[in-house]
Amino acid sequence: DQQVKQNSPSLSVQEGRISILNCDYTNSMFDYFLWYKKYPAEGPTFLISISSIKDKNEDGRFTVFLNKSAKHLSLHIVPSQPGDSAVYFCAASRWDTGNQFYFGTGTSLTVIP
Amino acid sequence: DVKVTQSSRYLVKRTGEKVFLECVQDMDHENMFWYRQDPGLGLRLIYFSYDVKMKEKGDIPEGYSVSREKKERFSLILESASTNQTSMYLCASRLAGNQNTGELFFGEGSRLTVL
């Protein structure tokens, strides 16, 4: 049973425009969310996280928004660059099972020069 | 920087063989994890360990076992490899502390093909 879902397997965006990657979750007990970026033949690398006590967290070109009532989070990349082309995974965890991170299926982002 | 090293990037094994995947981290992290990544399924947790000689089953432990004899090393063992275990295997580590904050640091992955 997939508790974290990324319903868009792929996304293409022009360089310089905004990329918006979406993630939905079903478990209302999740209280910590992360985004990871993965290039082919490499391990995922941490990008940005957000705690459920916030609704927005920003780090340079990357902003994560959390809508708890909708059980939805999104990652905004502005402006998008060709080097951002990768697979993006969202992940969630809950405080009482802190070692269990639940990952989505990933969205492959292509930034077109 | 945290470094998580997986011993083999690419392996090809035959059905029924015993397979060892080794993972070493150099940042004294208490928690270590094994995931597998498959297209359309994302990353799924096989096993994790929160201390030496301690292990917990993840979501898909069947067909796998693990060993953590030293803090820095976490091994995944396939006792009798099967074709449905062909996958990308990812090791990760994390500092214990706040129960669920703090990111996972991943290795580069081991691509296993079982013929």
Q: What is the pLDDT of residue B36?
A: 95
List CB contacts (< 8 A) between B99 and chain A. Answer: 95-96, 98
We report the CATH number of the domain holding residue A20 as 2.60.40.10
Contact A65, A52 (CB under 8 A): no
DSSP B51-99: STT--EE-S--TT-EEEEEETTEEEEEESS--GGG-EEEEEEEE--SSS
Q: What is the pLDDT of residue B1?
A: 66
Residue of A nearest to B55 (CA): A99
Q: Where exactly are the structural domains of chain B?
A: 4-97+105-114
Q: What is the pLDDT of residue B42?
A: 87
On the question of pLDDT at A98 being above 70, the answer is no
On the question of pLDDT at B100 being above 80, the answer is no
Give the count of domains, chain A: 1
List CB contacts (< 8 A) between A44 and chain B. Answer: 43, 90, 104, 106
Range of the domain at A23: 4-112
What is the pLDDT confidence band of residue A75, given thresholds at 50, 70 and 90?
Answer: very high
What is the pLDDT confidence band of residue B101, given thresholds at 50, 70 and 90?
Answer: low
- Summarised one tens digit per residue, pLDDT across range B4-26 is 999 889 999 999 999 999 999 99
* CATH domain B4-97+105-114 topology: Immunoglobulin-like (2.60.40)
- Summarised one tens digit per residue, pLDDT across range B15-63 is 999 999 999 999 898 899 999 999 888 899 999 998 999 999 998 999 9
